[in-house]
Structure 1
Amino acid sequence: MTLTDIPVDRPAASSVAAPRPPVARAFGAILLRDLLVSGKDFWFILAQVLLTPLFMLFIFTRVLTMQGIVGAGFANILLPGTVALATFTTSLQSVAVPLVKEFGFTREIEDRLLSPLPTALVAVGKLVVATIRGLFAAALVYPVGALVVGTAPGSWSALPLSVLFVLLAGWVAAALGMTLATVLPLQRIQATFSLFVTPIIWTGCVHYPWQRLAEIRWFQVATAANPMTYAAEGLRAALAPQVTHLPVGVCLLVLAAVAVVTTVAALWTFIRRAVK
């Protein structure tokens, strides 16, 4: 018997592990899947996004204006604030509500955590999708809201700055939503959302410019702690610069700083919850 006659154990072809796809490819596939799911929920998202802002615009700029309670120029104040509100609430809910289910009874998050991605990138993917949905909400609310109020403040030159503020506001809201969904107990999440979202709406300078609150100093300080204030004021600066507003640089700086802090907090709480 020669050496060539000695049988050699070879691994079966089926036992060879398939190569893992590149991280960028896997990340893109998960993003595409989430965006396609968002497309299937288009009509629900449309109703969720448009209902409250459009009723708010109609009541404040049509009903109250016809009664002489509100001035005709109030639309220039309210429309940019409503765009910020739609962006913020849509992004926050887009990441918070699914996460509550995925970490809860469906346990769908386990499938994502088994994907060839670092846990932090799984969280980043959810933030990206929520931010895109916030941008989609702003793109819907602005033209439809302009039809409701009868005026469309701003010009094409204001589009880049407006998109920048919408993206920053959407990212901050998504990071806040992720932090809430991964920190709070499941049984208290709904009640806490109501307690959290309501003050954000009414202290976010949606209905009034920040600088005109000088006579109510304590309330002005409270609104300064709300990141949506800087989104609303920044959009006013871009779309209706004739209205009193905070400087653009201040709004951008604050939103960027809050985005960094909330992103770190969201990733840390997500990873900690995922490990559990």
Structure 2
Amino acid sequence: MTAFLALLRRDLKVASRNAIPLLLGTLTQPILVVLVFGNILPRLHLVADEFRTVMVPGLMSITMMMAGVQGVLMPLTIDLSGSREVDERLLAPISVLGVAIEKVVAGAIHAAVAGLTALPAMMLLMHRVTGVEVHPRWAALLPLVVLCGLLSAAFGLTIGSQVQPRFSGLLFAVILGPMMLFGCAYYPWTGLAVIGPLQYVFLLNPLVFMSESMRLAVTPDVAHMPAPLLLGGTVGFAALFTLLGARSFEKRTIL
């Protein structure tokens, strides 16, 4: 446990030194989306009031997914590069699984901070716009943010340990891009009932459960996925990606 905490402290210290660039890189997209769709277009009467309310928790989930993936993927790319900096971690009195879990925890903290920072930033941009019904339930929001952070970081560990570093840039276009569009960030999952059984195909996307979790906690008046289903999906995907990521990480690190 001492080695685990030492590694975690080291990663958090490194991240704190680059906190501003990391937050800027993570928050730029959602802030621009809110500025256009949550502020400018509503003033032009081109966006319905309901869309703004639905959009806020969805953008929180996207922010956390991007932050969690980047918080694990970028350091992992460096660790597994030709310099093999990961070998220094493996020399610590901690198992390979412990090193993998530490990366997930560090990435989850990054994702949680980004998500909780995005919410007030988005509300500030829309404070003069009427029709936005955002009423965070903090007792539900804080644990769900932690859980969603773990999911996003575990997903980052999975794809980061399976894809060669030179292809990491393609992940955002090939994997994360479609995930965002079909992750119920801009529309509630319950509304997909209009497309019939295809609604359940969306459940293969882990971002759906993150978006619905934030919708439950931030905009509880908006229709959202039943709590048992979204909790089961979020926990299930987090556990699955942690297991897959840890195994892939072990294969990549042990020569």
Q: TM-score range by the shorter chain?
A: over 0.9
Tell me, in whole angstroms, the C-alpha distance in 1 between the residues paired with 2:7 and 2:213.
Answer: 32
Q: Which residue of 1 aligns with 2:120?
A: 143
TM-score (norm 1): 0.86
Q: Matched residues in 2 for 1:198 and 1:218: separation?
A: 23
Residue 248 (structure 1) shift: 1.5
Q: CA deviation at 1:218?
A: 6.8
Distance 2:196 2:35 in 1: 30
- What is the distance in 1 between the residues matched to 2:245 and 2:133? 36
> 2 CA distance for matches of 1:216 and 1:60?
25
RMSD: 1.6
Quick one: which of 176, 179, 185 aligns to 2:155?
A: 176
Structure 1 residue 88: Cα displacement = 1.1
Q: Tell me the distance in 1 between the aligned counterparts of 2:35 and 2:166.
A: 36
124, 129, 134: which one aligns with 1:153: 134
Report deviation, 1:237: 1.5
Q: Which amino acid aligns with 1:112?
A: R
Deviation at 1:193, TM superposition (A): 3.6
Match of 1:106 in 2: 83
Residue 144 of structure 2 corresponds to 165
Q: Contact between 2:34 and 2:122, CA under 8 Å: does it hold in 1?
A: yes
Correspondence 1:231 to 2:231: no
Task: Tell me, in whole angstroms, the C-alpha distance in 1 between the residues paired with 2:64 and 2:133.
Answer: 18
Superposed displacement of residue 105, structure 1: 2.6
Q: What runs of 5+ residues in structure 1 fail to find an aligned partner? A: 1-23
- 1:97 equivalent in alignment to 2:78: no
TM-score (ref. length: structure 2): 0.93
Cα shift at 1:189: 2.5
CA distance, structure 1, for counterparts of residue 201 and residue 178 of structure 2: 10
1:257 correspondence with 2:236: yes
The yes-or-no answer on 1:28 pairing with 2:9 is no
Structure with bigger gyration radius: 1
Question: In the superposition, relative to structure 1, how do residues 69 and 222 fare at CA in structure 2: closer, same or farther (>3 Å)?
Answer: farther
- How far the C-alpha of 1:71 sits from its partner, in A, is 1.6
Answer whether contact 1:61 1:72 (CA < 8 A) is retained: no
User: 1:43 aligns to what?
Assistant: 20
- Judge which range, 85-94 or 163-172, deviates more: 163-172
**Contact 1:87–1:135 (CA under 8 A) maintained in structure 2:** yes
What is the number of equivalent residue pairs in this alignment?
251
Q: Which runs of 4+ in 1 moved over 6 A?
A: none
Structure 2, gaps ≥5 residues long: none
Higher relative contact order, chain-length normalized (CA < 8 Å, sep 6+): 2
After superposition, the C-alpha distances for 1:133-155 in whole angstroms (9 at most, x for unaligned) are 00100111011111112257124
Percent identical residues: 27
